[in-house]
């Protein structure tokens, strides 16, 4: 709804989406929300002049061709470039209503304006006398603002809105914005008042939407001067020109979050029942939304307005001065100059081409607490300055003498300290050398080496710090870590659901300190804690689990994450609740696979040096409130080599069934080890089977061994999860199965890289969703190192999940059980600790006494195994 802007909102039954032009100087688009058709088809590689959104779709005006390009889903408008299109038509502006989109054409003849519309009841070419400066689309109508006399003209269906017959003919406007059943405009008058007309009120009553008393008629706009106004279905919002704060009026549906009147915004756009704006302060250029059913996590910083040819016209200033936000060097981001300063303030400097006008408090006429606070602090500052001057005039000889004395004493103290430290260091060196020769064992030196390997490089991309919580805070948040708050258990940690003091719902991971762990495990747990803390504080991606903070007090090590309301993929695929599994339909499964692949691709390709996760598995793929996947658990992650041809030599760690055989055998660790684990995950998603399932299957308990031959023989249907009806066309799932086969190849170098995997999966998803012609990657890449996402607040729903009992049998190979230090007999009966801290025996996975096909082909490819290695592989592959 409304006019073209740097931000656009789509709404409707298929979910809400926020899209914005990125502030990266490329004018490319980024979207966030729950309408998967919009999300997956976002054309991230195109540059746009501006955006507009309707019911289930978003359109942008392409920079190259000046034509509209739409994506998402609409029964009335053709997605892509809407048709019919006049050949070589170029547009100045586009605007979307509920089910249509219109474009204002560039014309040479300034006496006429051409507007082309596509969609519900509106597909036509319109010719108007006079020059239209801008157009704005409402639900089923459009309006144009004429530049010569500021008058407004509307056309379309006005049966319910009466927007055409109620047009205020005598009023002149400087801007207009259409909403659902009304139009609002800012008057050309000096005081920039807003005037709205239409019949939202009557419609609202008819559909009996409850509303907050005291608010109501959208026609009753406030008197405040405004610089921008937008219209939602039954409400309107504006930015006040003197302080850039938002004000909304009209019908506000009851459970709406309130208008953030305390923040300042640059740009706003309205959906049906919610509005979003681009923040001007605090987190500059980040979006924020309010109302009902708006997208929860919003994309990265977006442009606060449209880039227009520079210099800006009078009454505007260029926000983009040297910021490089606009793609073309000859364009600027022209924002309207703010109006008069608020009461109690005077104008410090006027609006120029470079900057907006500035206001300062007038301390002689204060009446508000903010003014008093500001003035009293500056008054006390000047008083303090004067006092200080007097003091120093009298005291300076004394002070200089005192400083001399202090310096003299300090020099003596430093000299003594240096001599003492020097003396102590000599002792340390001796004892360290002594200890090294006596005590240092191979494993501890390796661990230290690892730590050293991580730290110096990680410092290089230290960009963001996690918040430090006190134990008390987290104890209160989780109701004393009570049993009922537990949402999951891992090998070394319990995860609790908690609510922080500010209402944020979080997951608190608490390391289990248990006597049943081997003693060197405490060190290992703490190392995992620090690895996870270090890495997650530096990584940020829409599909990685966000770390909010940590607590390290005494023996307690706690990590605080965003709470994932829908648990883990493991719980969905293998939990006792079969409904959950059935609800995980093919599109959802493949979407989760694409999103997880995106997260891992980011770790491998965008983080530098690459991060190797080392523990990709279904229990580490978490699912948020909006059913988006997030890769979690970075406890085992390592910084990998920049070049995957020069692997790290690492002691194997990870989870059995997902572990790369090459990594096990040769201790070669590259990003391709994650690719192997991801291949296993894909097979798990397709088949609904666990990576290793010795409880249910005697034969084929190893998913790779079972599925790969079936896929290679072309019998894809045989591996598909029997709980779901196979799709009509197996093409997409076949593609995914083939990708999985490539991922689980024995040699790392024969496996595809994660970016190739992601692209292949995205294409498969497009085929599954019925748009096979999509050739480009279709997920937006919301990739930025070190920036915070907006965190979900208390709106996050609680989930009644409980950890699936079966999960305890997932077998994880701890890093201390490795070749060649552990004998095969020990390995055969190696013990593993389950989620409850109990020790469970790892059972023989099969193929004892005989070499499995997988092992045989591994041998063919990477040479024969030693007896020790053979025994271990027989257990696990």
Ligand X SMILES: Nc1ncnc2c1ncn2[C@@H]1O[C@H](COP(=O)(O)OP(=O)(O)OP(=O)(O)O)[C@@H](O)[C@H]1O
Residue ranges in contact with ligand X by CB under 6 A: 487-493, 495, 507, 509, 545, 561, 563-564, 567-568, 570-571, 615, 619-620, 622, 632-633, 812
List of residues 6+ apart from 190 with CB closer than 8 A: none
Minimum CB separation of residue 457 from ligand X in Å reads 24
Rounded CA-CA distance 635/34 in Å is: 30
- Rounded least distance, CB 834 to ligand X, Å: 9
Question: How far from 492 is each of 257, 293, 510, 528, 620, CA to CA, in Å?
Answer: 39, 38, 9, 10, 14
Annotated active-site residue in 534, 615, 624, 674: 615
Q: How far is the CB of 558 from ligand X (least distance, A)?
A: 12
CA atoms in the 13 A half-sphere facing the CB of 271 = 29
Peptide bond into 820 cis (omega under 30): yes
Cα separation, 787 vs 606, whole angstroms: 14
- Between CA 253 and CA 210 the distance in angstroms is 6
Phi, psi for 827 (deg, rounded to 5): -65, -40
Gap between the Cα atoms of 777 and 791, Å rounded: 27
Q: Which is nearer to ligand X, 495 or 681 (CB)?
A: 495
Provide the minimum distance between the beta carbon of 712 and ligand X in the complex, in angstroms, as a whole number.
30
What element of type H or E holds 790?
none
Closer Cβ to ligand X, 847 or 876, answer by number: 876
Q: Provide φ and ψ at 537, rounded to 5°.
A: -70, -15
560 vs 741, beta carbon nearer ligand X: 560
Residue with smaller CB distance to ligand X, 535 or 622 = 622
Alpha-carbon distances of 45 from 48, 79, 137, 797, rounded to whole Å = 10, 17, 27, 35
CB 491, min distance to ligand X, A: 3
Active site residue 615: yes
Phi, psi of 806 (to 5 degrees): -55, -30
Least distance to ligand X, CB of residue 631, Å: 11
Nearer to ligand X, 568 or 759 (CB): 568
Rank residues 287 and 688 by Cβ distance to ligand X and give the closer one: 688
Taking the least distance from each CB to ligand X, the nearer of 103 and 488 is 488
The CA distances from residue 487 to 495, 549, 565, 631, 791, in Å, are 6, 18, 10, 17, 20
Q: Shortest gap between Cβ of 543 and ligand X (angstroms)?
A: 13
Answer whether 515's CB lies under 8 Å from 837's CB. Answer: no
Beta strands in 717-811 (DSSP E): none
CA neighbor of 294 nearest in space, from 280, 273, 311:
273
Identity of the residue, 492 or 678, whose beta carbon is nearer to ligand X in the bound complex = 492
Q: Which residues contact 415 (CB under 8 A, 6 or more apart)?
A: none
What is the closest distance, in whole angstroms, from the C-beta atom of residue 191 to ligand X in the complex? 51
- What is the spatial distance between Cα 104 and Cα 817, in angstroms, rounded to a whole number? 69
Q: How far is CA 603 from CA 24, 537, 612, 783, 790, in A?
A: 21, 13, 7, 10, 21
Known catalytic residues?
615
């Amino acid at each position: 709804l409304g006019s073209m802007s740097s931000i656009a909102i789509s709404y409707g039954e298929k979910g809400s989406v926020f899209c914005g032009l990125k502030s990266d100087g490329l004018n490319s688009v980024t979207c966030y929300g729950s309408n998967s058709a919009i999300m997956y088809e976002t054309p991230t590689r195109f540059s746009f002049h501006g955006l507009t959104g309707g019911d289930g779709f978003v359109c942008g005006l392409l920079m190259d061709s000046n034509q509209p390009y739409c994506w998402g889903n609409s029964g009335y408008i053709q997605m892509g470039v809407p048709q019919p299109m006049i050949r070589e038509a170029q547009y100045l502006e586009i605007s979307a209503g509920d089910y249509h989109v219109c474009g204002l054409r560039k014309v040479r003849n300034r006496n006429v304006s051409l507007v082309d519309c596509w969609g519900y009841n509106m597909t036509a070419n319109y010719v108007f006398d006079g020059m239209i400066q801008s157009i704005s689309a409402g639900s089923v109508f459009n309006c144009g603002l004429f530049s010569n006399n500021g008058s407004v003209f509307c056309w379309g269906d006005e049966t319910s809105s009466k927007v055409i017959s109620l047009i205020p003919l005598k009023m002149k406007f400087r801007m207009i914005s259409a909403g659902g059943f009304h139009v609002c405009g800012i008057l050309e008058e000096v005081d920039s008042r807003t005037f709205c007309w239409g019949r939202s009120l009557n419609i609202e009553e008819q559909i009996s939407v409850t509303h907050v008393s005291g608010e109501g008629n959208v026609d009753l706009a406030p008197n405040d001067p405004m610089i921008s106004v937008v219209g939602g279905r039954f409400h309107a919002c504006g930015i006040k020109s003197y302080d850039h704060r938002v004000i909304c009026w009209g019908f506000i549906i009851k459970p709406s979050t309130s208008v953030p009147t305390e923040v300042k915004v640059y740009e706003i756009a309205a959906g049906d029942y919610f509005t979003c704006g681009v923040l001007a302060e605090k987190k500059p250029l980040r979006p924020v939304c309010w109302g009902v059913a708006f997208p929860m996590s919003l994309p990265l910083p977006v442009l606060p307005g449209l880039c227009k040819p520079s210099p800006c016209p009078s009454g505007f200033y260029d926000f983009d001065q040297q910021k490089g936000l606009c793609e073309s060097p000859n364009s600027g981001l022209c924002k309207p100059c703010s109006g008069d300063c608020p009461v109690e303030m005077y104008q410090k400097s006027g609006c120029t081409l470079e900057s907006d006008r500035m206001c300062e408090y007038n301390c002689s006429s204060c009446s508000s607490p903010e003014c008093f606070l500001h003035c009293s602090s500056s008054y006390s500052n000047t008083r303090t300055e004067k006092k200080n001057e007097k003091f120093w005039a009298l005291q300076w000889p004394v002070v200089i003498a005192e400083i001399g004395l202090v310096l003299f004493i300090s020099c003596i103290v430093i000299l003594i300290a240096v001599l003492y430290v020097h003396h102590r260091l000599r002792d340390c060196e001796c004892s360290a050398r002594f200890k090294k020769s006596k005590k240092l064992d191979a494993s501890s030196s390796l661990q230290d080496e690892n730590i050293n390997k991580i730290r110096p490089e990680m410092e290089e991309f230290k960009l963001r710090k996690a918040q430090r919580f006190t134990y008390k805070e987290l104890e209160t948040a989780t109701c004393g870590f009570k049993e009922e708050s537990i949402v999951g258990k891992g090998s070394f940690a319990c995860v609790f659901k908690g609510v922080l003091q500010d209402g944020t719902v979080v997951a608190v991971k608490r390391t289990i300190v248990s006597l049943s762990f081997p003693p060197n495990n405490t060190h290992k747990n703490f190392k995992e804690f620090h690895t996870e803390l270090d890495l997650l504080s530096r990584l940020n991606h829409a599909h990685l689990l966000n770390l909010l903070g940590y607590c390290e007090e005494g023996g307690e090590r706690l990590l605080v994450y965003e709470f994932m309301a829908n648990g883990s993929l493991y719980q969905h695929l293998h939990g006792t609740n079969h409904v959950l599994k059935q609800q995980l339909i093919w599109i959802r499964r493949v979407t989760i696979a694409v999103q997880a692949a995106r997260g891992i691709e980011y770790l491998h390709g965008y983080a530098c040096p690459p991060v190797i996760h080392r523990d990709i598995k279904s229990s580490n793929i978490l699912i948020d409130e909006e059913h988006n996947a997030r890769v979690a658990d970075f406890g085992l992650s390592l910084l990998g080599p920049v070049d995957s041809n020069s692997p790290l030599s690492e002691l194997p760690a990870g989870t059995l069934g997902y572990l790369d055989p090459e990594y096990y055998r040769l201790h070669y660790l590259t990003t391709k080890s994650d690719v192997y684990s991801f291949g296993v995950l894909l097979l798990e998603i397709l088949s609904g089977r666990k990576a290793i399932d010795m409880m249910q299957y005697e034969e084929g308990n190893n998913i790779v061994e079972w599925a790969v031959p079936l896929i290679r023989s072309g019998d894809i249907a045989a591996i598909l999860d029997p709980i779901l009806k196979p799709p009509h066309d197996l093409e997409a799932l076949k593609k995914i199965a083939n990708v999985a086969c490539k991922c689980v190849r024995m040699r790392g170098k024969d496996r595809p890289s994660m970016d190739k995997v992601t692209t292949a999966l995205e294409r498969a998803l497009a085929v599954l969703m019925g748009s096979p012609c999509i050739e480009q990657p279709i997920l937006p890449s919301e990739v930025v190192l070190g920036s915070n996402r907006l965190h979900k607040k208390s709106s996050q729903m609680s989930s009644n999940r409980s950890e699936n009992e079966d999960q305890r049998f997932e077998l994880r190979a701890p890093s201390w059980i490795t070749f060649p230090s552990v004998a095969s007999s020990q390995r055969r009966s190696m013990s593993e600790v389950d989620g409850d801290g109990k020790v469970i025996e790892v059972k023989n996975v099969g193929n004892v006494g005989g070499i499995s096909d997988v092992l045989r082909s591994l041998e063919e490819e990477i040479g024969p195994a030693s007896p020790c290695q053979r025994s271990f592989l027989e257990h696990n592959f």
